């Protein structure tokens, strides 16, 4: 589901937006493309120092929207830049091998946000 073009986007710096929501309100948290790790089974691991509001939302609703983009990766029809919108489920992880691997790279984190995509769409 996660195409090579999506993976190419992650090789360049750009803003990632993670949207969580409850019946009360939506919430957007941002991070950087360079912080993301894509696992062999296409889960996305994001180091989380903050993300406290997202954590509260996910305790009620595990659905997320996620966007990432990079101007340096050519989009459709020669467009300068491309971006992706993913939907999926998410949870926070604070132990285990993958947590330890991400924490070794980013010692400032308290948890890892693990996103399991259910759809991915190239926007540009």
The CATH number given to whatever domain includes residue 102 is: 2.30.110.10
pLDDT tens digits, one per residue of 38-50: 999 999 999 999 9
Q: pLDDT value at position 15?
A: 97
Q: pLDDT value at position 73?
A: 97
Q: pLDDT value at position 106?
A: 97
| Residue 106 CB neighbours (<10 A) | 14
Number of domains comprising the chain: 1
Residues 53-80 as b or e (16 or more Cβ within 10 Å = b): ebbebbeeeeebebbbbbeebebeeeee
Q: pLDDT value at position 13?
A: 97
| Average pLDDT per consecutive 10 residues, the chain (124 residues; last block may be shorter) | 97 98 96 97 97 97 98 95 98 98 97 98 96
Q: pLDDT value at position 82?
A: 97
**Residue span of the structural domain in which 107 resides:** 4-122
């Amino acid at each position: 589901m996660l195409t090579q073009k999506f993976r190419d986007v992650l090789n360049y710096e750009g803003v990632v937006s993670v949207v969580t929501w409850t019946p009360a309100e939506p919430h957007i948290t941002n991070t950087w493309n360079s912080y993301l790790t894509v696992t062999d089974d296409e889960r996305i691991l994001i180091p989380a120092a903050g993300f406290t509001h997202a954590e509260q939302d996910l305790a009620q609703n595990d659905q997320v929207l996620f966007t990432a983009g990079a101007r340096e990766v050519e989009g459709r029809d020669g467009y300068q830049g491309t971006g992706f919108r993913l939907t999926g489920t998410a949870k926070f992880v604070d132990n285990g091998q993958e947590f330890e691997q991400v924490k070794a790279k980013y010692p400032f984190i308290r948890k890892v946000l693990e996103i399991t995509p259910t759809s991915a769409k190239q926007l540009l």
